[in-house]
Structure 1
Amino acid sequence: GTIYWKGASLVDIQAGRHPKHLRVGMVFQQAALFDSLTVGENVGFSLYQHSRLSGEQIRALVTKKLAAVGLSGIEDRLPEQLSGGMRKRVSFARAIMEDPLDPADDPQILLYDEPTAGLDPIASTVIEDLIRGLKDQQGVCETYVVVTHQESTIRRAGERIILLAKGKVQWEGYVSEIDQEPDPYVRQFFSGSVEGPFQVVE
């Protein structure tokens, strides 16, 4: 298949045949923080590398974004000093970072890759609520895509669902439709049954 972003194919964008920036923020499954950098340096990394902002201005933006994800006052800590859930939230703060001098590069969509993988149920709930909460905050993009296999994440953080299996879209709908949906893929996925179109690999 072909992926399109704002009417242009991803292949053309990557090849430089289309002028539009991707403007995508990414939250990786394992947070992907730089272990040798502090939290503040991780969150502000792109600005330190590419922005014309002063160090003081960047630090102020870092403080703002950390507060947005509920992590005020940890700028000087190293990733190894944080829990898994905290590291994940630091990666959220980095993904929503913006440059006030170059708003054309600010993310318009956030991609979350298995955001609750490896987290306990309580930490997962915090992350799921944060995903929904961030889109309602001023200055944070409203569109996001979550890749997940966790039912709680789908129900708490999702709205529109696309169920992929065997390389194809098997079902498309909304969270509110899950419990009444007769589609066999939906029924098997949300019931956890070994019987159905999803094949169990032993």
Structure 2
Amino acid sequence: MHTKEIYTAGEELRVAKKVLVLLHGRGGSAKEFLSLANHLNTPEFAILAPQAKDFTWYPNSFLAPVAQNQPSYASSLELLKELLNDIKETGITSENIFFAGFSQGACLSLEFVTRNAQKFGGVAAFTGGLIGDKIYTENYSGNFEGTPIFIGSGDPDAHVPVSRVKESAEILKKMNANVEVEIYKNRPHTISEDEIKLANKFVFN
């Protein structure tokens, strides 16, 4: 099960006006993923990057039957819920809380915010979609109230099918998110400079 091991950068949480929660991909480290914030328009942000146990948020593909990713999957969502509550307890409201993730971290970011939809500052999902062998709409509730959400992905991508990206975007739109999707032909499984540029323009402007 995941523990609250959080790496930080940027402003101190108690004095920051805004917060960015960064979620690393499978096999990645939170400490290294903090460097992504150097490329985003986050100068006055507190940057919080939780570390997944054994460097993975859940063991199998995000498209696997949900039971095959338990209990790590439930533990990941619970960790993010605790972290969100911790941030709010400092007085920072949801519209000043942002999420960004890559691959497995992007999937987890999208899944968490959609289960807890509210007016967030914004979400940047670099190669991700909602989690499950199918999309379980009964898990999702709330209203994004115009939250900007950027999703970038490759076509094809070795881990995230474009069909799931588009299906996820439609769910987000129905919940009143302002969604921007960019699909890149034959882009490797990575974060491109263009995605960073679009995320800054659309989410971190």
Q: Which structure's residues are more often strand, by fraction?
A: 2
TM-score, structure 2 as length reference? 0.30
Could you tell me the TM-score, scaled by structure 1's length?
0.31
Q: Counting helix residues as a fraction of each chain, which structure ranks higher?
A: 1
Larger Rg: 1
